Amino acid sequence: MTKKQEQTASFMVRFHQQIFDENGESKIQWKGKITHVQDGSEKRFSDFKDALTFMQQKLNTLTEEATKHQTSEEQENILQKSLSMWKTIKDVGPKVLRDTLKDPKKQFHQFQDQIQDQFTTITEEIGEKVQIDQWKNASKSDFHKMQHQIEELASEIKKLSNKIDNQKK
């Protein structure tokens, strides 16, 4: 597979909850704002479908720009493949959003577990890649430098763990 072009699109979504009484009945309304990080454009919404439409338009524009030198048939084929992601978001996204709004702590714990799983995976990969035989001829200064870097990394991990613990409270 030849890597032709890589693009990044980031979106920040903020939600605002409004609880109010209407005719003696408690009501809730969620509103939000989605921002395309790269160009700063934004869209306010009260229906999340509007946020998804905004993302889809931005991503389609990026795809069209990246494929502008290809034939219209190739462009159409790439856009169709791109749409498969939106089918997944359409099927899974509302449930994830509902679950998050119902129980944010549960979602936070799941997110924390995912981070921990990634950390474990990375640690295992690093352990597999470091061959002890390669370090037999290393100098003391190399070992001291590595030890210092490991201590700095451990300190950063401890800071992140403390942040996570504080968010649990």
User: Does residue 118 register a pLDDT over 70?
Assistant: no
Report which DSSP code applies to 22: E
Count of domains for the chain? 2
**92 vs 87: CA distance, rounded Å:** 9
- By the 8 A CB rule, do 19 and 30 touch? no
pTM confidence score: 0.49
Asked if residue 94 and residue 75 are part of one domain, the reply reads yes
**pLDDT grade for 108, boundaries at 50, 70 and 90:** low
Do 66 and 128 fall into the same domain? no
Residue 9 has pLDDT above 50, yes or no: yes
- Compute the mean pLDDT over every residue in the chain, rounded to the nearest whole number: 76
Domain boundaries, position 141:
106-168
Report whether 37 contacts 12 (CB < 8 A).
Answer: yes
For residue 64, is it within any domain?
A: yes
The Cα 79–Cα 156 span in angstroms is: 41
The torsion of the CA quartet 116, 118, 124, 126, rounded to 10 degrees, works out to: -120
Domain endpoint, select from 45, 71, 102: 102
